[in-house]
Amino acid sequence: MSSNVPPGRTIDLAKIDAMSDEQLSEIRDTIDAEMKRREARKTREARKQIVELAQAHNIDLSSLSGQKPKYRDPKNQFNTWSGRGRKPEWLRAYLAEGRDIEDFRVA
């Protein structure tokens, strides 16, 4: 059986029986955190590819969602938000700088 565990970071499955509940929980938490990081990375990469493809073909992504955009990024016309759901990263970044959300409202 092959393993994708890097050298020096092996888990001896025969020793699992001897591990405490706390040790097993720590291993599980480490694995869960790594799985979340990987999923988040894959999602970011997929979104980036989707945006790049839409831009290359001059497609406004908001037209695909059925919701008209209420807010638009002045630096990138393809970054829009309908005002529903979580605020997108681009808008959260502007708001963190102290900008007013109304600065981005679509007329």
- pLDDT tens for 33-87 read 999 999 999 999 999 999 899 889 988 776 777 778 899 999 998 899 999 899 9
> What was the pLDDT predicted at 25?
94
Tens digits of residue pLDDT in 8-32: 667 777 788 899 999 999 999 999 9
What are the DSSP E strand ranges found in 1-103? 71-73, 76-81
Q: Give the residue extent of every domain in the chain.
A: 12-59, 60-107
- pLDDT for the residue numbered 64: 77
3-state secondary structure 64-92: HHCCCCCEEECCEEEEEECCCCCCCHHHH
Whether 5 and 34 have beta carbons less than 8 Å apart is answered as no
The class level of CATH for 60-107 reads few secondary structures
CA 78 to each of CA 10, 70, 87, 90: distance values in angstroms, whole numbers, following the listed order: 45, 13, 15, 11
How high is the pLDDT of residue 7?
61
